[in-house]
């Protein structure tokens, strides 16, 4: 039987899944809360801007890219100077044998330098490897960013899909080595207060406008 960490179980190359599943609002808030001192944040796969919204609400400069908005971060040359990168990239994006998370991590480090990164990844990013895996060797020996913390995510964290995933934090030594997210209690599916409030929806929309206005020329 195939391991749940392998691509064989999901058959994503033969049966592609959605690549735009949004991060739950409550999780966006918790990730932002781990970085209270940052002043500028980049999301290279921002979607509707929800990972950046909590930072924007507290006055941070936010820069976002999304290919659906005609802004492809993977084509960016940089440099871009920011305090933090947050990224929930398409898991089913593949370039050769690279997972989407690796593709975006490599590009972030090339464009932004060795900054702190909060990267959403399938668990296979770290664990589905062999002794001769190129990703294993790169993460172990060559990647300038060092894994400093992990956040375990529930299997049903994302709406409409079950997937083994985690947030891998690089260059963030102030965090505890292992973190658990804390979904809102009271129901099986955490509530989404930002999504249910007209004011909060407007705040997210304003953040998206800010993202589009802050082009990659802010360097």
The string of pLDDT tens digits covering residues 108-157 is 999 999 999 999 999 888 888 888 888 989 999 999 999 999 999 988 88
- Residue 1 within any structural domain of the chain: no
Q: What is the CATH number of the domain that holds 24?
A: 3.40.50.150
- Residue 2 within any structural domain of the chain: no
Per-residue confidence band for 16, with pLDDT thresholds at 50, 70 and 90: low
- Residue 16 within any structural domain of the chain: yes
The string of pLDDT tens digits covering residues 158-170 is 877 777 899 999 9
Per the structure, the count of domains in the chain is 1
**Residue spans of alpha helices (H) in the chain:** 7-10, 25-33, 53-57, 100-112, 124-127, 134-137, 193-196, 198-213
pLDDT at 18: 57
Residue 202 has pLDDT above 80, yes or no: no
What 3-state DSSP class applies to 39?
A: coil
- Residue 108 within any structural domain of the chain: yes
Across the chain, the runs of DSSP E, i.e. the strands, are 40-43, 61-64, 84-87, 94-95, 98-99, 117-122, 147-152, 165-170, 178-180
Q: Which of 4-13, 116-125, 143-152, 185-194 has the lowest mean pLDDT?
A: 185-194
Distances, alpha carbon 149 to alpha carbons 63, 169, 174, 181, 215, in Å: 24, 5, 9, 13, 30
Determine the structural domain holding residue 199 and report its residue range.
Answer: 7-213
Residue 194 has pLDDT above 60, yes or no: no
- Residue 218 within any structural domain of the chain: no
- Residue 219 within any structural domain of the chain: no
- Residue 143 within any structural domain of the chain: yes
């Amino acid at each position: 039987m195939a391991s749940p960490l392998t691509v064989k179980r999901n058959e994503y190359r033969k049966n592609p899944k959605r690549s735009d599943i949004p991060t739950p609002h409550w999780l966006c808030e918790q990730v932002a809360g781990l970085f209270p001192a940052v002043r500028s944040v980049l999301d290279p796969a921002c979607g509707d801007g929800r990972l950046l919204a909590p930072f924007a609400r507290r006055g941070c400069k936010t820069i976002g890219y999304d290919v659906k908005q005609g802004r492809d971060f993977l084509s960016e040359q940089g440099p871009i100077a920011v305090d933090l990168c947050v990224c929930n990239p398409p898991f089913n994006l593949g370039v050769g044998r690279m997972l989407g998370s690796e593709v975006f991590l490599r590009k972030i480090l090339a464009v932004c330098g060795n900054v702190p990164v909060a990267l959403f990844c399938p668990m296979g990013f770290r664990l589905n490897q062999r002794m001769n895996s190129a990703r294993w060797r790169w993460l172990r020996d060559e990647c300038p960013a060092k894994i400093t913390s992990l956040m375990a995510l529930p299997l049903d964290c994302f709406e409409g899909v079950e997937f083994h995933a985690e947030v891998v934090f690089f260059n963030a030594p102030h965090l505890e080595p292992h973190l658990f997210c804390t979904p809102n209690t009271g129901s099986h599916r955490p509530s989404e207060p930002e999504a249910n409030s007209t004011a909060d929806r407007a705040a997210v929309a304003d953040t998206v406008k800010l993202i589009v206005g802050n082009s990659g020329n802010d360097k």
